[in-house]
Amino acid sequence: MYPGNTDAERKVSMMEDVITSQREIIADIYGEENVQKIPQVFIPYKEMNDVYNAGLDEFMLWDGSEDFNGDGITDYRDDNTDIMLMWAEDNENYIRQDLSEEEAGRAGGAGIYYHISYWGPPASFLWLNSTSLYTMSEQMHRGYDIGADDYWILNVGDIKPSEPSMEFFLKMAWDSRYWDDTTVIEFLKNQAKRDYGMNDEDAAVMASAVSEYYAINGTRKAEFYEKPDYGSLPTEFCTSGCGDESMLWIERINKVVDTMEGLYNKLSDEYKDAFYEHFYYNTTALRDIIENTVYYNKNQLAAAQGRVGSANVYAELSKAAAARVKEGLKTFNSTHNNKWTNFMDCYHPGRGDVLIGDAGEKIRRG
C-alpha cells in the first residue's frame, strides 16, 4: 500500500515510485552520470492528468537544488526536470492543460500528444477522419505558443482516410509560423492540384467543400450520431422546431456531397481512387449516417403522434440510409484493386433501435 490519506495521494505516491524506479533502472544499465542525458517523457494522459494535478506536478519540479526525497544525498533522484512533459488533448481534440511558468522553464521541455483517431470512453472516433484541420491547427498552435513545442505526437490510427491530416500536421511541425488555420485552404488547394490533378477553380471548390465538411463534423462528429445523449446532455437535432433543424442539417450535408460528386465525376480515372478515399467517401458516409439518424428520429416522432403513413415513409428512408452506409463500405473495400479492404470496417455508428411501421409494427433497421 502506497502512503497517502486519500486515493489521489496514494496514486501520486505510486507514480513517484514508478518514475524513480525507471530512472534507477537507467542508472544501473547506463550509469548515473547518463540518467539525465537519456531522453525521457511523461504524458499526463486521461486519468494521469488528474494524478499529475493532485501532487505529481510538484515531484516533476524537483530540480536537484536540495535533498527532496530525504535519502541523505542529492543526486539524479532529486532532479526530474530533465523529463519532458507531453500534454495530451481531451480525446475530443482540445488540449486539456496549459504549461505553468515553472513547467515552461524545465530543462526537459514540453510537447503535445494529439488524436485524430481515438478509441475509448466517452466516445470513440475511428471512422471518417472527423477532426477538423482548423481545430487541430488552433490547438497545436496553442501548444506552440505556450512552449509545448519540443516534441509533437499525432495518433493517426489506421491511416485511412487521414493522410491529408497527417501531412498538414507534419507541415505545422516543420514550419509552425506559416501553416496554421489561415493556410488550411491553401493546403487543401495545393493537395487538390497535386494529388487529384484539379485545376485552380476546381481546387478552390474542393477546399471550400472540405472546409464545410469539417464545420459539419465539428458540430457533431460522424461517429457520435449513435448517441442520443452524450453524457447527461441531449444532443439530437430538433425534428420539428427551429425550422426543422434536422432537415436543414440534411440539406447542408447534401450540398457538400453534390459538390464532391461533381468534382469526382470530372476527374480522370487515375485520380478517382485517391479523391474517393481521402474526401468523397467521407462526405457521402457522413450524409448517410445523418439521414439514418434524422429519419429514425422522425419515424419515432410520427409514430408517437399517430401519423402512421409518415412513420412508414421515414422508416424506409432510414433503412435506405443504413443500407448506403454498408454499400459505401463495400465500395471503399473494392477501390484500388482491394488494396484497403477492411480498413474502414473497424467501427461505424448507426441507430440499432427498431423503427415503427405504418401498422405500428416494429421494423429492424436492416
- Given a cut of 80, whether residue 345 has pLDDT beyond it is no
- When pLDDT is cut at 50, 70 and 90, the band that residue 218 belongs to is confident
Return contacts of 93-101, CB within 8 angstroms, 24+ apart.
93/131, 93/132, 93/135, 93/136, 93/139, 94/135, 94/139, 95/139, 95/142, 95/143, 96/49, 97/44, 97/49, 97/53, 98/142, 98/146, 99/146, 99/147, 99/148
- d(CA 311, CA 232) in angstroms, rounded, equals 28
What are the grid coordinates assigned to 42, written together?
511523461
- Does the structure show a pLDDT above 90 at 43? yes
Q: What gap in Å lies between CA 29 and CA 57, rounded to an integer? A: 27
- Whole-angstrom distance, CA of residue 333 vs CA of residue 264: 18
Angle at 252 between CA 119 and CA 315, to 5 degrees: 75
Give the chain's largest Cα–Cα span: 83
Residue 350's pLDDT is 54
pLDDT value for 237: 77
pLDDT in tens, 138-159: 999 999 999 999 999 999 987 8
Q: Give per-residue pLDDT as tens, 285-328.
A: 999 999 998 998 899 899 989 998 999 999 999 999 989 988 99
CB 307 within 8 A of CB 357: no
CA 318, CA 352: separation in Å to the nearest integer? Answer: 11
How far apart, in whole angstroms, are the C-alpha atoms of residue 226 and residue 349? 5
Is the confidence at residue 239, as pLDDT, over 90? Answer: no
Residue 103 above 90 pLDDT?
yes
Please tell me the distance from the alpha carbon of residue 108 to that of residue 101, in angstroms, as a whole number. 14
Note whether 127 and 347 are within 8 A (CB): yes
Contact (Cβ atoms closer than 8 angstroms) between residue 173 and residue 208: no
Q: Which residues contact 308 (CB under 8 A, 6 or more apart)?
A: 302, 357, 358, 359, 360
Residue 364: the pLDDT is 52
Q: 20: closest CA among 89, 88, 71, 91?
A: 71
Compute the distance between CA of residue 20 and CA of residue 26 in angstroms, rounded to an integer: 10
- Under the banding of pLDDT at 50, 70 and 90, the label for residue 336 is confident
pLDDT at 269 over 90: yes
| Helix H or strand E segment including 356 | strand 355-356
Does residue 363 carry a pLDDT above 60? no
